[in-house]
Structure 1
Amino acid sequence: MTKTDGTPVAVSFTGAVKTFGAVRAVDGVDLEIRRGETVALLGRNGAGKSSTISLLLGLDEPDEGSVSLFGASVAQSVRAGRVGAMLQEGRAVPRVTVRELVAFVAGRYPAPMPVADALALAGIEELAGRRVDKLSGGQTQRVRFAVALAGNPDLLVLDEPTAALDVEARHAFWTSMRAYAGRGHTVLFSTHYLEEADANADRIVVIDHGRIVANGTGDELKRAAGGSLVAFDLAGRGTEGLSLLPGVTSVEVRGDRARLRSDDSDATVIALAELGAIRGLEVAPASLDDAFMALTGASDAPGIPSTTGASDTDLETVR
């Protein structure tokens, strides 16, 4: 499958629906990911991220709609060795070494990555001779990454890949992931660390209640959060009239500090100065955390137009 701009499509969801009883875990998802693109999937716990990934990997079948990879069915692409995955769950294999495990998985693929390369890229060369069931949680997570790389897949799917990793290991992981993506591979990852998505994804897809509520770059999501944040100390002042100040779109009070979301921070600051309310003044652009909260925490949150051929932003509250 190829997009209208000539770019090959790696992943295509078309009206995909997955239900579990009365719950629509995936609710009409339309999404395309280009070949060679790195995409982050964000969402609250229970938002539908894992169910979406399960459809992508063929672990579940959609009740409605379809999912395809590289223009073929998911099953065909998996059998052809085009997909590698690093999932959150999975028991350590007993009585085998890291090298043996990675070599075994590599042997199941038609054109695998050399085992030494997979170990090096995952940063676990020193663990090669260790038993998998004797490793720490962080070490086991890095072994899962090596296993996902072993087949040299065209599409790499990473579900919360830096869980259990310390800060240094997280940085090393993302360096390795970017190196792999830089070879032209497609990467889809989910994460609860929003700064990781902002720093490492070409595009961010936010899912809530099983539907895509935003689809764009990190900068686009931040702009959708409503401009800038203007914060100041109330110093005993009331909050009456703050929502009426120029540019202000929302008001939040945390203790004795007011946080104003503004789409014209200059006008807001001038108005505050005229009121004499500039103690501890801070003006900052919206963060990805702000955008995420706005998109998943309010039904009237602003939307982000799709720039990649995927579905237009749907701003209903979703799972």
Structure 2
Amino acid sequence: MSHISHLKSDNTMNAIKETHFNFEGQTAFYKGKVRDVYTIKDKYLVMVVSDRISAFDVVLPEPIPYKGQVLNQIAAKFLKATSDIVPNWVINIPDPSVTIGRICEPFKVEMVIRGYLAGHAAREYAAGKRTLCGVTLPEGLKENDKLPEPIITPTTKAAIGHDEDISREDILAKGIVSKQDYEQLEAYTRALFARGTEIAAAQGLILVDTKYEFGKVDGTIYLIDEIHTPDSSRYFYSEGYEERQQHGEQQKQLSKEFVRRWLIENGFQGKDGQTVPEMTPEKVESISERYIELYERITGEKFVKPEGDNVLNRVEGAIKSALATL
């Protein structure tokens, strides 16, 4: 026993770096940057949200304990809190790091919605562009200003490389999504963003921008993937927002921006020839603590660390039990 308790203090012991499971009825396996996805009987998806962390399109060498659980549980909470607006893909959440759901045929666009001029939109605006994805923006905006009303700036889903901005007109002209479906996606996107904004406000947060992905099965549109997590959304703290805008100061963000900043300060932006700075156990632990803090702030709930030493055995067992009931 002493061997195990000694190992437990090692950060990576309770982190999911990768999985190599083999389930009954498994027909495919896909390893994404952060998620390991198992296809069962070509009908169900088992999504294991690993503790891998990516920045600048690069997966960093060390996993971050509990990061996957944070993302999976935030998404689970918000999918449940919006299921009256649009049905979603989730069937079961058998483990804090796992979601099992139905396979949908994904639409080839991601629905990005912005309530504020931040991130990519702010960079485009600063470069002189006043039309973003076919939407015209007013003159005189500063970075992080609230927009007159939320705007939808879709992107194409690239199989390789970066997603590209696209306008509603192009989506319809190219037949990427039918007019009827696209209008429904827009309506869902606005309603989800309004609900997300409400939930965030109750936690003293501003939902700045986010993205939603949708799919279709048997003629029904479902919300798929994660929603309102710090990896898919940007949040500001409400307190002090106005003062910071007036003084031209950076907004206080709740996102994984802190990881990107640490990398940039240490000379890494994913470019050729650059190396990831050393991820010491202390650094890994501090990132893990920040993710737990994100969870508690966004959900208003206490984060619960699961029992047990061997996280992979726990996850595999939970999935097998859940699959037996499908």
TM-score normalised by the shorter chain: which range applies?
under 0.3
Normalised TM-score (structure 1): 0.26
Question: Max radius of gyration: which structure?
Answer: 1
